[in-house]
Amino acid sequence: MKKYLGIDLGGTNVRVGVVTEDGTVLQQVKSVSYAQDGVTKVLDNLKQMVYGIEDYKSCSGIGIGLPGPCDTVHGKMVLSTNLPGFAGYPMVEELQKDFGLPVFIDNDANVAGLAEARVGAGKGLPIVFYITMSTGIGGGLIVNGQTVSGRSGFTGEIANLIIDRNRKKVNYLNIGAIENEASGTAIKRKAKEAMPDRTFEHTGQVIDLAVEGNMQAKMIFDQFTYDLAQMFSEIGAVLDPDMYVIGGGMTKSADKFMPTVIEKYRTLVHEQLRDTPFALAKLEEPGIIGAAMLPISKGC
């Protein structure tokens, strides 16, 4: 069975794993990513990690998941907020010269979605839309086992989708952008505004309060579940996927809020879209596995 190197390079940590065609992680190493120390430091560290993988040259290709939109044709990041200096840098070209293996990159949400579409919750389905809900909200479109990145690398970048123009301005995103209204960060922000006497460490605490009947938390719950339902309805109207796969930290409370989201979603879409299945991501290492699936999806 062929083996591949999957690399999950983030703004804090970097992980390198050896992964088989069926998604089994055989070996994994981890390090800080040195993201704030510049391109040279980040790549030197990454190269040393790969060189430390036993018999890495027996792998058939390398895939890298990156925290931002990517130009997958030319092998460069388009936007690199969490990896300063990488926007426009010929990353793929340099690494291919060093390792002598085909190298592919894509956005981290895209590669996580690719993992779920090829060997996870959406295995075998033609069109899978992956949504990650955590401190932010992101997504990835997988069609016939391949990521779809788009002309500028922004396919699936759903954070800026507008769900209500009558909300307040929060940051650089659009007024009423879904990330500012229904992400974990947004829910905690709204909870602190509504209940300043309470401390909220994570979104689950707000959701638990709502389930217990706290009226302020319930108002927040009712709003963000409707906002998420509208987001899904907008995605569905454009893509009509075979499945929505949901990952990210907020899924720890998914049993408490997703049934409500799905119920509201069904009121917002055409009858033919109401039975689209929603599934939770099932893989423990979607970042590494999905990155390793990139060269597989390209025929390596």
Q: Would 133 be classed as within a structural domain?
A: yes
Residue 196: domain span: 125-280
Q: Would 26 be classed as within a structural domain?
A: yes
Query: How many structural domains compose the chain?
Result: 2
- pLDDT tens string, the chain, 300 residues long: the values are 999 999 999 999 999 999 999 999 999 999 999 999 999 999 999 999 999 998 899 999 999 999 999 999 999 999 998 999 999 999 999 999 999 999 999 999 999 999 999 999 999 999 999 999 999 999 999 999 999 999 999 999 999 999 999 999 999 999 999 999 999 999 999 999 999 999 999 999 999 999 999 999 999 999 999 999 999 999 999 999 999 999 999 999 999 999 999 999 999 999 999 999 999 999 999 999 999 999 999 999
Contact 163, 176 (CB under 8 A): yes
Residue 274 is classified by DSSP as T
- pLDDT of 54: 85
- pLDDT of 158: 97
Same domain flag for 106 and 158:
no
Same domain flag for 100 and 187:
no
Closest CA to 231 of 179, 282, 188: 179
- pLDDT of 235: 98
CA–CA gap between residue 94 and residue 75 (Å, rounded):
10
- pLDDT of 55: 87
Same domain flag for 67 and 161:
no
Q: Would 119 be classed as within a structural domain?
A: no
Distance of CA 27 to the CA centre of its chain: 23
Whole-structure pTM value:
0.94
Same domain flag for 143 and 258:
yes
**CATH number, domain with residue 159:** 3.30.420.40
Same domain flag for 79 and 143:
no
Q: Which long-range contacts (CB under 8 A, 24 or more apart) does 193-198 make?
A: 194/219, 194/220
Non-local CB neighbours of 198 within 8 Å, separated by 6+ positions: 191, 192
CA–CA gap between residue 80 and residue 68 (Å, rounded):
6
Same domain flag for 100 and 13:
yes
